[in-house]
């Protein structure tokens, strides 16, 4: 039997985050996407070849992301083409992260029918003004109304996904919220209430220093422990821990969550926090990221990627499967990234936030989170 593929810190690959576009219909200030894609976007066939090679090396979960992945016109076709990999058992799940604003009832059904297993929708506020601020709608008098409309679309998207069969009580439908101190930390309790009422697990994410445009500073990070303390003071929580290779620490509401009263199932009985800044989890990180134009990154904070296009486009009859597998394996073997842990140590010793970051620094909407 072949030796397991491990990186230089002994970590196996497990999750592939595949970005389908760097474009987005929103402009969240903590992310700041591009308004156009880079040249050389991968085709559906190239993406399938890439996922096939990654699964051959031990990747078991695929997360489709962006930019906004629902802007990808052939998303359902891609998922359907990947389905045999999942049906064969190597790939355990195909998941999607979306801002939800474009998720109609028809699209939710089409995604489910194509073979999508899980959707995480992102929403950073529970009222129009907060949603507008976090979605980058500016400060005009029209912004709160636009925020109300976006909030209504995301709330409708939750119900479309539920109706299409994404079951929150089995973790198939969740809510992501980025929390930044002084920007939307007043939304913690309203967002928790919104998720509890709808039977959804809420995943609170610390504002991260991905990219170089979002003006990150440590003062804007509300530590996950503080988020849990504030929510726990209203609805007592008990810790469940962080699963191995997981990004989120999970908590259970002692009262069972609000959903039981609403007939929405038990998904809202849990809260999760992603403490990538205050409690980094580099030690067992198993994520590989590939951008829409085929650049592979072994860390969200890596300074450079590896262009997979030469091997994806290398063979006369399409992707060079053996070459692709060799390149990915070599990339993984030399992986030594543990940037979040290094940042924590450097900041603890008084380093300035910008000096802790490798340069250049790829943007979040390009990497896909
Ligand atoms: N557009 C989709 C969405 O918003 O869900 C998918 C792409 S987005 C880059 C993936 C996730 O990353 C979202 O949940 C988003 O909130 C999160 N995110 C983006 N920038 C972030 C940052 N600077 N810190 C923490 N999370 C961030
Ligand atoms: Fe778009 Fe998602 Fe970035 Fe917001 S976080 S700008 S929704 S890609």
The pLDDT of residue 1 is 62
What mean pLDDT comes out for the span 41-62? 97
pLDDT exceeds 80 at position 229: yes
What mean pLDDT comes out for the span 257-265? 59
What mean pLDDT comes out for the span 182-203? 97
The pLDDT of residue 357 is 60
What mean pLDDT comes out for the span 52-66? 97
pLDDT tens per residue across span 280-289: 889 899 999 9
Please state whether beta strands 15-19 and 237-241 pair in parallel, antiparallel, or not at all (unpaired).
unpaired
User: How far is it, in rounded angstroms, from Cα 179 to Cα 260?
Assistant: 26
The pLDDT of residue 340 is 83
pLDDT exceeds 80 at position 105: yes
pLDDT exceeds 80 at position 136: yes
pLDDT exceeds 70 at position 260: no
pLDDT exceeds 60 at position 241: yes
What mean pLDDT comes out for the span 337-350? 78
What is the rounded average pLDDT for all residues in the chain? 92
CA of 164 to the centre of ligand 2 (A): 24
User: Does 66 contact ligand 2 (Cβ within 6 A)?
Assistant: yes
pLDDT exceeds 80 at position 346: no
pLDDT exceeds 60 at position 263: no
Name residues contacting ligand 1 (CB within 6 A): 24, 30-31, 65-66, 68, 97-99, 122, 176, 178, 205, 207-208, 210, 214, 364-365, 368-369
pLDDT exceeds 70 at position 255: yes
The pLDDT of residue 288 is 97
User: Does 27 contact ligand 2 (Cβ within 6 A)?
Assistant: yes
Which residue, judged by its Cα, is nearest atom 8 of ligand 2?
67
Q: State what percent of residues in the chain have pLDDT above 70.
A: 94
pLDDT exceeds 90 at position 110: yes
CA of 332 to the centre of ligand 2 (A): 28
pLDDT exceeds 80 at position 358: no
For the stretch 260-267, contacts whose Cβ atoms lie closer than 8 Å and that sit 24 or more positions apart, written own/partner, are: 262/197, 262/198, 262/199, 264/168, 264/197, 264/198, 264/199, 265/167, 265/168, 265/169, 265/199, 266/169, 266/199, 267/167, 267/168, 267/169, 267/171, 267/173, 267/174, 267/199, 267/200, 267/201
Residue 293: cis peptide before it, omega within 30 degrees of 0: no
Nearest atom (ligand 2) to Cα of 67? 8
Q: Which CATH number fits domain 1-98+285-369: 1.10.3720.10, 3.40.50.720, 3.40.50.300, 3.20.20.70?
A: 3.20.20.70
User: How far is it, in rounded angstroms, from Cα 267 to Cα 263?
Assistant: 11
CA of 134 to the centre of ligand 2 (A): 10
Between residues 319 and 354, which one has the greater pLDDT? 319
pLDDT exceeds 90 at position 359: no
The pLDDT of residue 342 is 82
The pLDDT of residue 313 is 93
The pLDDT of residue 368 is 87
Residue 81 in contact with residue 72, Cβ under 8 Å? no
User: Does 67 contact ligand 2 (Cβ within 6 A)?
Assistant: yes
* 118-122: strand order across its sheet: 237-241, 249-253, 270-274, 201-206, 173-179, 118-122, 93-98, 61-65, 15-19, 287-290, 295-297, 306-307
């Amino acid at each position: 039997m072949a030796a397991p593929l491990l990186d230089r810190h002994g970590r196996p690959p497990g999750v592939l985050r595949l970005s389908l576009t760097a474009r987005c219909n929103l402009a969240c200030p903590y992310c700041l996407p591009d308004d156009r894609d880079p040249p050389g976007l991968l085709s559906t066939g190239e993406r399938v070849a890439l996922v096939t090679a990654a699964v051959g090396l031990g990747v078991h979960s695929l997360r489709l992301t962006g930019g906004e992945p629902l802007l990808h016109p052939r998303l359902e076709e891609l998922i359907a083409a990947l389905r045999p990999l999942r049906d064969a058992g190597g790939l355990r799940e195909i998941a999607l992260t979306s801002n939800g604003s474009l998720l109609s009832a028809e699209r939710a059904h089409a995604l489910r029918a194509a073979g999508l297993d899980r959707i995480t929708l992102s929403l950073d506020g529970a009222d129009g003004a907060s949603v507008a601020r976090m979605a980058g709608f500016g400060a005009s008098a029209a912004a709160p109304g636009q925020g109300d409309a976006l909030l209504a679309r995301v709330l409708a998207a939750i119900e479309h996904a539920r109706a299409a069969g994404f079951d929150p009580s089995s973790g198939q439908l969740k809510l992501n919220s980025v929390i930044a101190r002084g920007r939307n930390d007043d939304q913690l309790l309203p967002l928790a209430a919104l998720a509890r009422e709808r039977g959804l697990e809420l995943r609170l994410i610390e504002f991260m220093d991905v990219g170089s445009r979002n003006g990150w500073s440590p003062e804007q990070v509300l530590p996950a422990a503080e988020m849990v303390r504030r929510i726990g003071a209203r609805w007592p929580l008990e810790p469940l821990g962080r699963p191995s290779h997981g990004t989120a620490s999970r908590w259970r509401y002692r009262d069972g969550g609000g959903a039981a009263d609403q007939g929405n199932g038990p998904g809202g009985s849990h809260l999760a926090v992603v403490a990538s800044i205050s409690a980094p989890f580099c030690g067992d990180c198993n994520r590989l990221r590939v951008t829409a134009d085929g650049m592979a990154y072994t860390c969200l904070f890596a300074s450079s990627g590896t262009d997979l296009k030469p091997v994806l486009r290398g063979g006369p009859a399409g992707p060079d499967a053996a070459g692709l597998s060799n390149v990915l394996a070599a990339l993984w073997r030399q992986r030594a990234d543990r940037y979040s842990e290094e940042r924590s140590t450097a900041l603890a010793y008084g380093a300035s936030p910008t000096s802790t970051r490798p340069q250049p620094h790829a943007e979040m909407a390009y990497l896909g989170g």
